[in-house]
Structures are given as structure tokens and as C-alpha cells.
Amino acid sequence: SAKDANGGVYRRYNAELESTWQSRAFILHELETALAEGQFEIYYQPVIHARNGAISAEALVRWRHPERGVISPAEFLPVAERMGLIGKIDDFVFAQVCFQIRHWQDNGMGDIAVSINRSAQDFGNLTGRLDWVDYIQQHEIASHLLTLEITEGVLLQRSTETRNLLRHLRHFGVRISIDDFGTGYSSLAYLKQLEVDYLKIDKSFIRDLETDANDKAIIEAIIVMAKRLDIGIVAEGVETESQLRLLTELGCDWIQGFYYARPMACPDFEQFVRDWRKNVSLGKHIF
């Protein structure tokens, strides 16, 4: 009967909802535990200057789960965003990177610039968040060694809070980089309104660079525009030597990708930096 059918539908709906809420609550609990117990870890991927061999890095968060092993950000960041926990994770990454930059300076590694990602969600809303500028000042962090990577979506928010935060950070020496450039609603207007230090060409343009004339044309145009605007260019997702060659020919400044190295745990990254700098000082042309 209709009543049975309704009852059935109702029960099924309820069961789905229940399992959704159970897993949500479970994941929320897991993420909070991860924050409280220090299960998040920062990996560093080298970013290499294509002409002088200078080395910097991008900080990329990993979740070292006690049972499930290392979990990639693509898996847990969207959940953390939905749960409203992304701000806490980004603040943790920020403070950890600040500590690391200072630690390298104090322990003979010198200056290593690091770029950090900050989620577009609630970007300018500072309620309950770490005050990054305050933190930089209190801990006397060399702010020019910090780059904040934001997506085009952040700039399209056009909120006063967002603009103020970006201006404030930049005023204190933090560099601003547009991540995944070309994949969002690339409104070029913001490039003149807001001072931006770097554009990061998304890896989807790099992948078929050698075979796809359109990708090549787009990259060429981005680089020419950036040069005119005095904005630095980073290419992400560079995996082959011929991609590297092409990008260097086109005038790309910085190269990041598996061709040089994958994101690495801190000790491995430090070893990479030592080896890299040694080779550069020996005049080995490896970039």
C-alpha cells in the first residue's frame, strides 16, 4: 500500500541520513583528534629558479593517520572545509612554517622562502583565527620569506575583509601568489587593482605543453603579460626535461614539479637542499 511505500521511503531516507551524519560526526571527531594530537605534517616541495638555481619551497599538508597512513590533502581538505575546520589547519601550517623558516636560519640552512596555501573559505573572516601579521611580528619572522598562495576565487570575493587582509599581509612583506592561475574565472582586473607578486600557472596547462599548441600559446601570453606587469611566474606540475626547456625558453622564472622532486618530509627536503646547493656551487648545470 501507499502507506507501506511511504514508510519504506521514510525509513530508507532516514537510514541514509543517519549514516551520513554518523560518518560526518566520525570524520569531524577524527579531524579534531588529528589537530589535537599533531597528526598533520608538512611536506616541502622544491621550487627552483630556472636561471640561477635558487631554491625555495611550497608547504603541502599531509595527514599521518595512525591507522590509515599518509592521507593526501585532496582527500581530507574538502571535508575539513565543509566541517569548518580548514582555518585551524591552515593556521597550524602557517605557524609550523614560520617555526621552520626560523629554525633553518638559526641552524645554518640560511634563508629558504616558503609558500603557504590558504583556503578561500572564510578567507577574510578573522574570527577565531590566528592573526598572521601579529604572529610574524611577535616571532620576528622574515616576512619576505613567506608567500601566501591564494586562488582566483579569493580575489573574486571582493569583500572589504579579504582586501584588507591581503593588503595588510603584503604591507608587512608577505608575498602574494595566485595559485592554479588560469583555471578560475580569470578576471584580469584584479591584477592591476591588487598588487600580486607571482602567478602560478596551473599544471593542467603544463601537462600537454609539448603537443598542444593552444596550451603553449596560453602559457606564452601569461608570461608576456606577467613580465609587463612585473609579476613573477611559477610553473607547477613540471614533470619532464622538455617541459622544463620549453618553459625556460618562454621566460618562466620558477619551476616546481616531479621533474625536480616530489613533496618531501622535512628531513628529506633538507637533504635535497644541501645536495642541490652543493651542485649549484660546483657549477653543475642541473637546472
| Residue 55 binds ligand C2E (CB under 6 A) | no
The identity of residue 177, as a single letter, is S
- Binding string, residues 146-185; x marks residues near ligand C2E by CB under 6 A: ---x-----------------------------xx-----
Contact region with Mg ion (CB under 5 A), list: 29-37, 136-144, 147-155, 256-264: 147-155
The identity of residue 21, as a single letter, is W
The identity of residue 28, as a single letter, is L
> Which sign does the torsion angle of CA 176, 180, 184, 188 carry?
positive
Strand stretches in the chain, DSSP E: 40-49, 55-65, 69-71, 114-117, 146-151, 175-181, 198-201, 232-235, 254-256, 264-265
Q: Rounded to an integer, what distance in angstroms lies between the CA atom of residue 94 and that of residue 33?
A: 19
Q: Rounded to an integer, what distance in angstroms lies between the CA atom of residue 274 and that of residue 200?
A: 25
For residue 144, the 8-state DSSP code is G
Contact region with Mg ion (CB under 5 A), list: 119-127, 141-149, 167-175, 184-192: 141-149
Query: Taking CB within 5 to 8 Å according to partner kind, which of ligand C2E, Mg ion, none is near residue 188?
Result: none
Contacting ligand C2E within 225-254 (CB under 6 A): 236-239
Query: Taking CB within 5 to 8 Å according to partner kind, which of ligand C2E, Mg ion, none is near residue 237?
Result: ligand C2E
Q: How far is the CB of 244 from ligand C2E (least distance, A)?
A: 11
Residue whose C-alpha cell is 605543453: 209
How many residues are recorded in the chain?
A: 287
172 SS3 class: coil
Q: Which of 56, 117, 143, 151 binds Mg ion (CB under 5 A)?
A: 117
| Residue 152 binds Mg ion (CB under 5 A) | no
CA distance to 17, 34, 49, 70, 254, per residue, from 55 (Å): 49, 31, 6, 26, 9
Give the other-Cβ count within 10 Å of 236's Cβ: 22
Q: How far is the CB of 188 from ligand C2E (least distance, A)?
A: 20
Q: Rounded to an integer, what distance in angstroms lies between the CA atom of residue 282 and that of residue 284?
A: 6
Contacting ligand C2E within 257-286 (CB under 6 A): 257-258, 263
Q: Which of 180, 222, 226, 260 binds Mg ion (CB under 5 A)?
A: 180
Q: Rounded to an integer, what distance in angstroms lies between the CA atom of residue 64 and that of residue 72?
A: 9
Q: How far is the CB of 179 from Mg ion (least distance, A)?
A: 4
Residue whose C-alpha cell is 635558487: 54
Contacting Mg ion within 227-286 (CB under 5 A): 236
| Residue 30 binds ligand C2E (CB under 6 A) | no
Given a contact cutoff of 8 angstroms between Cβ atoms, the answer to whether 258 and 48 are in contact is: no
Give the other-Cβ count within 10 Å of 34's Cβ: 21
Q: How far is the CB of 72 from ligand C2E (least distance, A)?
A: 5
| Nearer to Mg ion among residue 73 and residue 105 (C-beta) | 73
Query: Taking CB within 5 to 8 Å according to partner kind, which of ligand C2E, Mg ion, none is near residue 60?
Result: ligand C2E
Q: How far is the CB of 69 from ligand C2E (least distance, A)?
A: 15
Q: Which of 96, 117, 143, 162 binds ligand C2E (CB under 6 A)?
A: 117
The residues of the shown chain that bind Mg ion, judged by CB under 5 A, are 117, 149, 179-180, 236
The residues of the shown chain that bind ligand C2E, judged by CB under 6 A, are 45, 60-61, 72-74, 77, 86, 90, 93, 117-119, 149, 179-180, 203, 236-239, 256-258, 263
